[in-house]
Structure 1
Amino acid sequence: MRTSVLLSRGAAPTALVDAELDDPRPHEVVVRIEAVGVCHTDLATRRALGDRPAVLGHEGCGIVERLGADVDTLALGDRVVISYAHCGRCAQCRAGHPAYCALATTLNNAGRRPDGTPTLRVDGAPVFGAFFGQSSFATAALADARSCVPVGDTPPWVAAPLGCGFLTGAGAVLNVLRPGHGDRLLVVGGGAVGSAAVLTALSEGAEVVVAEPVAARRELAARFGAVTVASLDDPIPAVTHALDTTGRPELISRALTLLEPRGTLAVVGLGPATAPIDVRDLMLRGLRLRGCVEGDADPSLLVPELIGRYEKGVLPLDELVTTYGLGDFDRAVAEQRSGRALKAVLLPGG
Structure 2
Amino acid sequence: MKTKAAVTYDQGAKFEISEVELKEPKANEVLIKVVASGVCHTDAVARDQDAPVPLPAVLGHEGSGIVEKVGEGVRSVEEGDHVVLSYSSCGQCENCLMGRPAYCHHMMELNFGGIMPDGTHRLYEGDQELSTFFGQSSFGTYAVAHERNVVKVDKDVELELLGPLGCGIQTGAGTVLNKLKPQFGETIAVFGCGAVGLSAIMAAGITSASEIIAIDVHDSRLELAKSLGATHTINGKQEEDVVEKIKELSNGGVHYSVETTSVPGVTRQSVLALRSLGVSAVVGVTPDTTFNVFEEIMAEGKSLIGAIEGDSVPQLFIPKLVDYYKQGRFPFDKLVKYYNLEEINEAFDDSANGQTVKPILKMDHAE
**Structure 2 CA distance for aligned equivalents of residues 125 and 347 of structure 1:** 26
**Structure 1 CA distance for aligned equivalents of residues 292 and 31 of structure 2:** 46
**Structure 2 CA distance for aligned equivalents of residues 225 and 163 of structure 1:** 22
Please give the secondary structure, in 2, of the residue aligned with 1:132: coil
2:54, 2:114 within 8 Å by CA — same for their partners in 1? no
**Structure 1 CA distance for aligned equivalents of residues 53 and 148 of structure 2:** 30
204 and 50 in structure 1: CA distance in 2 versus 1, 3 angstrom threshold = closer
Please give the secondary structure, in 1, of the residue aligned with 2:279: strand
50 and 224 in structure 1: CA distance in 2 versus 1, 3 angstrom threshold = closer
Amino acid at match of 2:169: F
Amino acid at match of 1:248: V
2:150 is matched with which residue: 145, 148, 151?
148
Q: Any unmatched runs of 5+ in structure 1?
A: none
**Structure 2 CA distance for aligned equivalents of residues 63 and 115 of structure 1:** 23
In the TM superposition, what is the alpha-carbon distance from 1:185 to its structure 2 partner?
A: 0.8
Over residues 217-240 of structure 1, what are the superposed CA-to-partner deviations in whole Å (9 max), with x where a residue is unaligned? 111001223111111733222211
Trace 1:26-175 onto structure 2 (pairs within 5 A).
26-48=27-49, 52-129=55-132, 131-153=133-155, 154-175=157-178
Decide which moves more: 115-124 or 27-36: 115-124
Q: Does 1:225 align with 2:229?
A: yes
Decide which moves more: 233-242 or 15-24: 233-242
Q: Does 1:210 align with 2:211?
A: no
The corresponding residue for 2:326 is: 311
2:5, 2:141 within 8 Å by CA — same for their partners in 1? yes
32 and 274 in structure 1: CA distance in 2 versus 1, 3 angstrom threshold = same
In the TM superposition, what is the alpha-carbon distance from 1:278 to its structure 2 partner?
A: 3.1
143 and 276 in structure 1: CA distance in 2 versus 1, 3 angstrom threshold = same
Q: Does 1:6 align with 2:6?
A: yes
Please give the secondary structure, in 2, of the residue aligned with 1:26: coil
Q: TM-score, normalized by length of structure 1? A: 0.96
The corresponding residue for 1:333 is: 348
In the TM superposition, what is the alpha-carbon distance from 1:213 to its structure 2 partner?
A: 0.5
Q: TM-score, normalized by length of structure 2? A: 0.91
Over residues 139-158 of structure 1, what are the superposed CA-to-partner deviations in whole Å (9 max), with x where a residue is unaligned? 00110011111111222232
Decide which moves more: 264-273 or 55-64: 264-273
The corresponding residue for 1:243 is: 258
**Structure 2 CA distance for aligned equivalents of residues 348 and 326 of structure 1:** 6
**Structure 1 CA distance for aligned equivalents of residues 276 and 255 of structure 2:** 8
**Structure 1 CA distance for aligned equivalents of residues 320 and 222 of structure 2:** 26
**Structure 1 CA distance for aligned equivalents of residues 145 and 177 of structure 2:** 27
The corresponding residue for 1:17 is: 18
340 and 183 in structure 1: CA distance in 2 versus 1, 3 angstrom threshold = same
277 and 176 in structure 1: CA distance in 2 versus 1, 3 angstrom threshold = farther
Name the % identity. Answer: 39
Amino acid at match of 2:2: R
2:282 is matched with which residue: 261, 267, 271?
267
Over residues 69-109 of structure 1, what are the superposed CA-to-partner deviations in whole Å (9 max), with x where a residue is unaligned? 11121110001001001111111011110011111122111
1:8, 1:54 within 8 Å by CA — same for their partners in 2? yes
The corresponding residue for 1:296 is: 311
Trace 1:194-209 onto structure 2 (pairs within 5 A).
194-206=197-209, 207-209=211-213
In the TM superposition, what is the alpha-carbon distance from 1:268 to its structure 2 partner?
A: 0.4
Trace 1:171-186 onto structure 2 (pairs within 5 A).
171-186=174-189
277 and 299 in structure 1: CA distance in 2 versus 1, 3 angstrom threshold = farther
1:253 is matched with which residue: 253, 268, 280?
268
In the TM superposition, what is the alpha-carbon distance from 1:115 to its structure 2 partner?
A: 4.1
2:53, 2:112 within 8 Å by CA — same for their partners in 1? no
**Structure 2 CA distance for aligned equivalents of residues 150 and 306 of structure 1:** 13
2:86, 2:166 within 8 Å by CA — same for their partners in 1? yes
Please give the secondary structure, in 2, of the residue aligned with 1:74: coil
In the TM superposition, what is the alpha-carbon distance from 1:175 to its structure 2 partner?
A: 1.2
98 and 349 in structure 1: CA distance in 2 versus 1, 3 angstrom threshold = same
181 and 101 in structure 1: CA distance in 2 versus 1, 3 angstrom threshold = same
**C-alpha RMSD over aligned residues:** 1.6
2:190 is matched with which residue: 187, 190, 195?
187
Please give the secondary structure, in 2, of the residue aligned with 1:128: strand
In the TM superposition, what is the alpha-carbon distance from 1:205 to its structure 2 partner?
A: 3.0
